[in-house]
């Protein structure tokens, strides 16, 4: 019990300004859960809705890899400490797929309604990552072939659904990005093992059914 509480404190430790300590969360993801992470590019300090990367039309400001690139993602605690020791406010970006979960994301309002419908149906979900604009449901790693077959079998898939698979990435809590704070809508249970996540098939089936059944219109954002 003492060990579990210690891990929870590291994950939720606070900085002097009251915000969660990013390095503690990054170390939990990398060393305890074996999710490869790396620091994301920061939002532009002069305009937080903009990104500090060279792309003036960046669609995910402050929430993507840049320097280092995505291939540098690691579970090495020494590297994580070095990165966030030098860039303590950098967003935490997870490389999806492989050893880490993948994700299915959709706009925030339809996502909130879909989760309520899934709860009523008894669908078991794992962690859910939320930004002000989109929510992402973590799922087990899947291949592009598996995803293609799954989508091909559907009569209808909302165009607003996005799939974060092998070679993709996802910003994790408690990162601050150009679109706002990243938080847990459904937080993982603390512990030594990597959090449980459902199969992508179950999530896509349930989300599409919930959106269709509730008449929720999910705009393509």
- Give me the phi and psi of 177, to 5 degrees please: -130, 175
Query: What is residue 120's three-state secondary structure?
Result: helix
Range from 2-11, 108-117, 171-180, 181-190 carrying the lowest mean pLDDT: 2-11
Mean pLDDT for the chain overall: 83
For the four alpha carbons of 187, 192, 198 and 200, in that order, the dihedral sign comes to: positive
User: How remote is the C-alpha of 148 from its chain's centroid?
Assistant: 22
Whether the link from the prior residue into 68 is cis, omega within 30° of 0, is yes
130-175 tens-digit pLDDT? 999 999 999 999 988 999 999 888 888 888 889 999 999 999 999 9
- pLDDT given for residue 48 in this prediction: 57
193 token code pair: 């093992």
| Cβ contacts of 13 within 8 Å, gap of 6 or more | 20, 21, 24
φ and ψ of 31, to 5 deg: -90, -30
Taking the C-alpha atoms of residue 15 and residue 49, their distance in angstroms, rounded to an integer, is: 23
Taking only the tens place, the pLDDT of each residue in 41-55 is 876 666 556 777 777
Rank 22-26, 87-91, 202-206 by mean pLDDT and report only the highest: 22-26
Stretch (H or E) spanning 213:
helix 200-213
Q: Does residue 3 register a pLDDT over 50?
A: no
Is residue 195 predicted with pLDDT exceeding 90?
Answer: yes
């Amino acid at each position: 019990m003492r060990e579990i509480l210690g891990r929870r404190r590291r994950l939720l430790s606070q900085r002097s300004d009251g915000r969660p300590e990013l390095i503690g969360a990054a170390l939990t993801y990398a060393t305890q859960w074996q999710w490869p992470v790396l620091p994301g590019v920061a939002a532009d300090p002069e305009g937080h809705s903009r990104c500090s990367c060279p792309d003036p039309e960046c669609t995910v400001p402050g929430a993507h890899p840049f320097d280092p690139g995505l291939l540098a993602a690691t579970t090495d605690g020494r590297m994580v400490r070095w990165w966030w020791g030098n860039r303590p406010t950098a967003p935490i970006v997870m490389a999806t797929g492989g050893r880490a979960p993948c994700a299915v994301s959709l706009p925030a309002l339809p996502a909130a309604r879909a989760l309520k419908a899934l709860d009523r149906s008894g669908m078991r979900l794992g962690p859910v990552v939320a930004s002000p604009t989109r929510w992402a449901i973590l799922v087990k790693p899947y291949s592009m072939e598996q995803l293609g077959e799954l989508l091909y079998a559907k009569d209808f898939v909302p165009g607003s659904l996005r799939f974060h698979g092998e070679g993709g990435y996802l910003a994790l809590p408690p990162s601050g990005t150009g679109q706002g704070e990243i938080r847990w809508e459904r937080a993982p249970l603390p512990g030594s093992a990597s959090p449980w996540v459902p199969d992508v098939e179950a999530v896509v089936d349930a989300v599409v059914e919930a959106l269709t059944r509730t008449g929720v219109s999910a705009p393509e954002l």
